Amino acid sequence: MPRPLVLRHDGVELPFQLVKLDRSKLYGTVEVEALDGQGRRCELATLATDGKTLLGRGDVASGFLTPEGGWLDRASLKPVGPDGEPVAPLPSSFAAATDLADEASVEEYLAHNVKSVYHLTCEGDVGPLLAELRAGKIYRFPFSFRGGGLVADVGFLVANPDGDIFLAVGQPTLIHFLGLEPLPVSEADVEEAEPGEGEADLDFGMM
């Protein structure tokens, strides 16, 4: 059995098992196959910059090189901050119990771009926690599935009216509101656009 996600609520540790939900489980999947003239399945390939070499699946990889062109082993790379000091990677959320102490509002939850949703099951007594979640309470906590990264995702613990508990994982949505600046109008355009009798003087900059 996979390692559980242990959440601590009011001093009680609750081990949850996670089942990831995806579109294929909700709606099914459709696979489109492309065949050649002889009925053989086509595969995607990339044309190299030389214009004649085809790169198929597994033919492309990435690596790290020194400024002199030497090969670098990935394990030898260490993350550092803007000040040059080493940055410790995040541990996995499955490595230790997580306290449910931070609450979030619906607005804060909706301000995140959710990328993964998990259905949670627990053999322990989730009655007190479930009662809070069904009443609309949302718990928020840092979440890192595998660990090793530098920035944790945000996990939201929610429940539906039927008593199912879900973990929604995402990142804050960065929304930039843009507006159109009024366009400059030349004197010639103003003279040509003078309203006639009975016409309202509309300024499209007001719309």
| Chain segment 58-85, per-residue pLDDT in tens | 888 888 888 888 898 888 888 888 888 8
- The residues pairing with 165 across neighbouring beta strands, listed in sequence order, are 120, 159
Half-sphere exposure of 4 (CA within 13 A, CB side): 14
- Name the one residue in this structure whose structure tokens are 């090189």: 65
The parts of the chain modelled with pLDDT lower than 70 are: 1, 180, 182-207
CA distance 184 to 35: 56
Residue 16 and residue 7 in contact, taking contact as beta carbons nearer than 8 Å: yes
| Average pLDDT for the chain | 86
Q: By C-alpha distance, which of 25, 28, 2, 26 is closest to 15?
A: 2
List 35's β-bridge partners, or say none: 41
Distance (Å, whole) CA 110 – CA 132:
19
pLDDT for res 31: 87
pLDDT at 178: 72
H or E stretch at 40: none
Per residue in 130-145, pLDDT (tens digit) is 999 999 999 999 999 9
- Report pLDDT for 198: 47
